[in-house]
Amino acid sequence: MGSPHTVGIVGLGVISRAYLDTLAGVDGVRITAVADLDLDRAEAAAADLPGCRALTTSELVADPDVDTVLNLTIPAAHAEVALAAIAGGKDVFGEKPLAATFAEAQGVMAAAERAGVRVGCAPDTVLGTGVQTGRRAVDDGLIGDPVGATATWVSPGHEHWHPQPDFYYRAGGGPLLDMGPYYLTSLVQVLGPVVAVSGAASRARATRVIGSGPRAGEHVAVEIDTHIAGVLEHAGGAISTVTMSFDGVATSARPLEVYGTEGAVVLPDPNLHAGDVSLHRRGGEGWEELPPSAGYEDAARGVGLLDFVAGHGRAGGAMALHVLEIMESLHEAAAVHARRELTTTVERPSPVPLTPASAWR
């Protein structure tokens, strides 16, 4: 990567630990500043990083020693922090979603274009060997012409383990916005952009009971739909069906299956960077496991930032904007029982060749 690329981190919650672990020991990247609403937390993080300073967010986004702002704040603050970083002339890479709403995300991308800076966004799990090996199987024609896909994620709800689950049941929450970015980004990686969606939604109950922590037993009001079923029409002609739910107990469905005229391929959980990929060929004798053939090996949260810094940008803002419009349009379509055509599109990022983790060291 040449001389070290400097990164300033805004937001030092739980996910920051995964990024710090990934960035540790990477010669081409140096964390020069951190910021958090909790100043003590920022100072403690800075003390563990050589040459790092604890700053306020406004100081960090204006600091000339920061090349890229890593935005790990809560979704409601994503747009505000991203816009401040862009105004400071910084590239910005953030956690998903790009912003709390599609309109806010459009504003972020427009501001970045005017300023001549770059935007990247998680999820980067799609750059690991799981999704990338599945994508290569499709690109290599192992399933013939893609016809469709299914994406399934079913859970009884986060209140069973999360001590503060309120956000998941308010506007901006729900299973689609929570887990959808992993599954939908994977579908776009494999099958290309979406041109239209339709869907239906429901909610199983009006309140949820917190199951752990100091608020255990407290009821949380459910203000949004908690079971979403959607149909995605891809520009290439394939049709995907998506189910995201906080209302089911469990499922035995494969996370992602892609069907073609000559076979089918099963991809692993897209919330993870790796996992088994299976292929069933027409006339074959059943499912066969494919060895990793593409993607970053032994990847973890933060590999998308490294890909971004290296200039590839496969976890890019345009992809995150498109996926956010898919999710928001699915909710709108479900509410009015109508098909919605999308206004955005995106080119599939270049595939990731099989790359060992040592390539970043």
pTM: 0.95
Name the pLDDT band for 298 (thresholds 50, 70, 90).
Answer: very high
pLDDT for 1 equals 45
Give the count of beta carbons closer than 10 Å to the beta carbon of residue 309. Answer: 25
pLDDT of 308 > 80? The answer is yes
- CATH 3.30.360.10 domain extents, the chain: 125-294+316-341
Amino acid letter at 235?
A
pLDDT for 151 equals 98
pLDDT for 361 equals 59
Beta bridge partners of 265: 258, 279
Q: Tell me the pLDDT tens digit for each residue of 164-210.
A: 899 899 888 899 999 999 999 999 999 999 999 999 999 999 999 99
11's CB contacts (< 8 A; 6+ apart) are 35, 36, 71, 72, 73, 74, 77, 81
24's CB contacts (< 8 A; 6+ apart) are none
User: Alpha carbon 76 to chain centroid distance?
Assistant: 16
Name the pLDDT band for 25 (thresholds 50, 70, 90).
Answer: confident
Percent of the chain scoring above 90 in pLDDT: 91
Over residues 22-49, mean pLDDT:
94
Over residues 252-263, mean pLDDT:
97
pLDDT of 125 > 90? The answer is yes
Q: What is the mean pLDDT of the chain?
A: 95
What fold, for 5-121? Rossmann fold (3.40.50)
Over residues 80-88, mean pLDDT:
98
Secondary structure (DSSP) of 207-274: EEE--SSTTTT-EEE--S--EEEEEEEETTS-EEEEEEESS-S---S-SEEEEESSEEEEE--TTSS-
Give the count of beta carbons closer than 10 Å to the beta carbon of residue 93. Answer: 31
Asked if 146 and 240 count as a contact pair (C-beta separation under 8 A), the reply is no
Strand locations in 127-172, DSSP E? 146-154
Over residues 111-136, mean pLDDT:
98
Secondary structure (DSSP) of 4-54: PEEEEEE--SHHHHHHHHHHTT-TTEEEEEEE-SSHHHHHHHHHTSTT-EE
Name the pLDDT band for 49 (thresholds 50, 70, 90).
Answer: very high
Over residues 254-266, mean pLDDT:
98
pLDDT for 96 equals 94
Q: For 16-30, 118-132, 243-257, which range has the lowest pLDDT when averaged over its residues?
A: 16-30
SS3 category, 177 = helix
pLDDT of 111 > 70? The answer is yes
What kind and span of H or E run contains 198?
strand 194-202
pLDDT of 357 > 90? The answer is no
Residue 183 sits at the vertex; the CA angle it makes with 150 and 323, to the nearest 5 degrees, is 115
Over residues 240-244, mean pLDDT:
98
Longest dimension (CA), the chain: 63
What count of residues does the chain have? 361
Report the interhelical angle of 317-336 vs 102-115 (nearest 10°): 160
Asked if 236 and 149 count as a contact pair (C-beta separation under 8 A), the reply is no
What fold, for 125-294+316-341? Dihydrodipicolinate Reductase; domain 2 (3.30.360)
Over residues 102-110, mean pLDDT:
98
Q: Tell me the pLDDT tens digit for each residue of 59-78.
A: 999 999 999 999 999 888 99
- CATH 3.40.50.720 domain extents, the chain: 5-121
